[in-house]
């Protein structure tokens, strides 16, 4: 199970007919069980890249080779739940034959068992994001795409949900791509970090993290975050220097 990506360029035209460069060079490969995290400033093209990788946007130059027959789970920036369906119905919609024991176990991890019959309008943003995660994980994806899944949450809630994501990812051999502008998310969740330039996005550094997620202490997390910020602020990267 392997994802191979080489996006040479992605452009679009706005309503006024003006052309904008969104991606100028993103190339990497990811294997099963790896969590790749893309860190970049807001508006740099991260979400556009994920739409390409998910097969939702074919208008680009380059190539994306996804594993044949891979089940793809996607969590968008907005939860995108159907407001007229309950939490359980929103999740069962993508996996109607899911075993009750498996569904309950997933809901237990995400603290959703008490909210099965609630509707999206009755949920906080944190709960809605958990339902979106449940919907992505319930299909037992081979390739998981997470687009800013912790955005707009307070620090305490983001930390709890981050731990839940780590638990779900570690319990499955799933190839995962997360995009974020939060270096804490990157340092705590990633196996490999890819730093992106401002738009048009290009990969300016690739940082492997050798220590497993569960074994990373506060000192190592702080060192990883410091390295990320140093590279972002300094503008010098491994790829540039090689």
User: CA-CA distance, 85 to 91, in Å (whole number)?
Assistant: 9
Query: What pLDDT shows up at residue 67?
Result: 82
pLDDT per position as a tens digit, 95-125: 999 999 999 999 999 999 999 999 999 999 9
Query: What pLDDT shows up at residue 36?
Result: 95
Confidence band (pLDDT; 50, 70, 90) for 150? Answer: confident
Q: What percent of the chain has pLDDT over 90?
A: 59
Query: What pLDDT shows up at residue 235?
Result: 57
Task: State the Rg of the chain over Cα.
Answer: 18
Contact 115, 158 (CB under 8 A): no
Name which residue leads in pLDDT, 240 or 222. Answer: 222
pLDDT reading at 2 higher than 80: yes
CB-facing half-sphere around the CA of 165: CA atoms within 13 A = 30
pLDDT per position as a tens digit, 57-98: 999 999 999 888 889 999 988 899 999 999 999 999 999 999
Tell me whether strands 2-13 and 61-65 are parallel, antiparallel or unpaired.
antiparallel
Averaged over 211-229, what is the pLDDT?
92
Domains with residue ranges and CATH for the chain: 2-71+141-241 (3.40.50.300)
Please give the structure tokens belonging to residue 203: 């990969």
Confidence band (pLDDT; 50, 70, 90) for 239? Answer: very low
Residue 162: name the closest of 192, 183, 143, 138 by CA: 183
Name which residue leads in pLDDT, 215 or 67. Answer: 215
Query: What pLDDT shows up at residue 231?
Result: 85
Averaged over 200-224, what is the pLDDT?
92
Query: What pLDDT shows up at residue 240?
Result: 45
Confidence band (pLDDT; 50, 70, 90) for 15? Answer: confident
């Amino acid at each position: 199970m392997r994802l191979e990506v080489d996006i040479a360029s992605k452009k679009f035209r706005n309503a006024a007919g003006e052309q904008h460069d969104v991606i100028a060079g993103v190339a990497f490969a990811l294997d099963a069980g790896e969590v790749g995290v893309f860190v970049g400033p807001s508006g740099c093209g991260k979400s556009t890249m994920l739409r390409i990788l998910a097969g939702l946007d074919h208008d680009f130059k380059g190539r994306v080779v996804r594993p044949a027959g891979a089940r793809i789970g996607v969590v968008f920036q907005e939860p995108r739940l159907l407001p007229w369906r309950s939490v359980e119905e929103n999740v069962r919609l993508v996996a109607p034959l899911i075993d009750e024991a498996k569904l309950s176990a997933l809901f237990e991890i995400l603290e959703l068992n008490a909210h099965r019959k609630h509707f999206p309008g009755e949920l906080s943003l944190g709960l809605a994001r958990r339902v979106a995660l449940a919907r992505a994980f319930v299909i037992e994806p081979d390739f998981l795409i997470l687009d800013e899944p912790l955005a707009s949450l307070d620090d305490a809630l983001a930390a709890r949900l981050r731990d839940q994501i780590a638990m779900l990812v570690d319990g499955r051999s799933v190839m995962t791509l997360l995009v974020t502008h939060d270096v804490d998310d990157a340092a705590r969740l990633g196996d490999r970090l890819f730093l992106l330039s401002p738009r048009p996005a290009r990969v300016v550094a690739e940082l492997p993290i050798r220590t497993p997620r569960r074994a990373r202490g506060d000192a190592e997390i702080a060192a990883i975050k410091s390295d990320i910020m140093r590279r972002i602020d300094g503008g010098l990267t491994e790829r540039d220097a090689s």
